[in-house]
Amino acid sequence: MKVSELRALPIKLLIYSRAGLGKTALALTLGEKCLYLDMDDNMEVAFGLDDKFKEDRLSVEVEQFIDTDRMKALAFMNLRKRIIKISNDCRKGVFEYDFVVIDSLTSLALAAQHQCMVNASKTGENPQIQHWGSILNEILQIVTMIRALPVVVLVLAHETTFTADDVSIIQIAISGQKLPGQITRMFNEIWYLRAKGDGGGAQTLYIQTVPTSSITCRSGRGLPTGTHYAKIDKAGKAVDSVGMKELLGMIDRKDKEPATAELKTE
How is the chain classified by DSSP, letter by letter?
--GGGPPPPPPEEEEEESTTS-HHHHHGGGGGGEEEEESS--THHHHH--STTHHHHHT-EEEE-----TT---HHHHHHHHHHHHHHHHHHT----SEEEEE-HHHHHHHHHHHHHHHTT-TTSPP-HHHHHHHHHHHHHHHHHHHH-SSEEEEEEEEEEEEETTEEEEEE--SSSSHHHHHHTT-SEEEEEEEEE-SSS-EEEEEE-S--SSB--EETT-PPTTEEEEEE-TTS-EES---HHHHHHHHH-TTSPPSS-B----
Give the model confidence (pLDDT) of 197-231 as tens digits: 887 888 999 999 999 999 999 999 999 999 999 98
pLDDT of residue 259: 39
Q: State pTM to two decimals.
A: 0.90
Residue of higher predicted confidence among 258 and 211 = 211
From the candidate CATH numbers 3.90.1300.10, 3.50.50.60, 3.40.50.2300, 3.40.50.12240, the one assigned to the domain spanning 3-191: 3.40.50.12240
Among 84-88, 92-96, 154-158, 198-202, whose mean pLDDT is lowest?
Answer: 198-202
What's the mean pLDDT when you consider all of the chain? 88
Instruction: Work out the number of other CB atoms within 10 angstroms of the CB of residue 183.
Output: 23
- Mean pLDDT score, 237-244: 86
Task: Find the mean pLDDT for residues 89-109.
Answer: 96
pLDDT in tens, 126-180: 888 889 889 999 999 999 999 999 999 999 999 999 887 788 899 999 877 778 8
Q: Could you tell me what percent of the chain has a pLDDT over 70?
A: 91
pLDDT computed for residue 219 by the predictor: 95
Using alpha carbons only, what angle is made at residue 43 by residues 215 and 149, rounded to the nearest 5 degrees? 60
For residues 56 and 40, give the distance between their C-alpha atoms in angstroms, rounded to a whole number: 20
Contact 200, 172 (CB under 8 A): no
